[in-house]
Amino acid sequence: MMELAFAVGMRGEPEPGLASLQAAQLGGAAESLQNAIGFSSWMKTHPITEAMLQYIRSRVDEQSWEEALAAGRALTEEQAMALAYRVGEGTLS
């Protein structure tokens, strides 16, 4: 799911700010699911993904980013999967 978060954020559609917030939600959900199973992704510390994340975050204000990240972290597994599906289908606004 973290890969989807990066893809959505870098895609920047339908609008860059919205894409960044969707990426934050997906990233928060992925982080929560990974923490639940004790998984630590190499993506968290890789220089390329750090640069991508900084770029995605730069398109929205800090408060909006943190709120979207927290909303993603609060999702259940089923809700996280539904979010990923909606974003993939382009039906999340």
In three-state secondary structure terms, 66 is helix
According to DSSP, residue 93 is labeled -
Tokens of 92: 């999340």
Please state, in angstroms and rounded to a whole number, the distance separating the CA atoms of residues 17 and 36.
29
CB count, 10 Å around CB of 7? 15
If one compares 93 and 81, the residue with the highest pLDDT of the two is 81
Please state, in angstroms and rounded to a whole number, the distance separating the CA atoms of residues 43 and 21.
19
Please state, in angstroms and rounded to a whole number, the distance separating the CA atoms of residues 15 and 42.
28
Domain ranges for the chain: 2-89
What digits encode the pLDDT tens for the residues 28-87?
A: 999 888 888 888 777 777 899 899 999 999 999 999 999 999 999 999 989 988 988 888
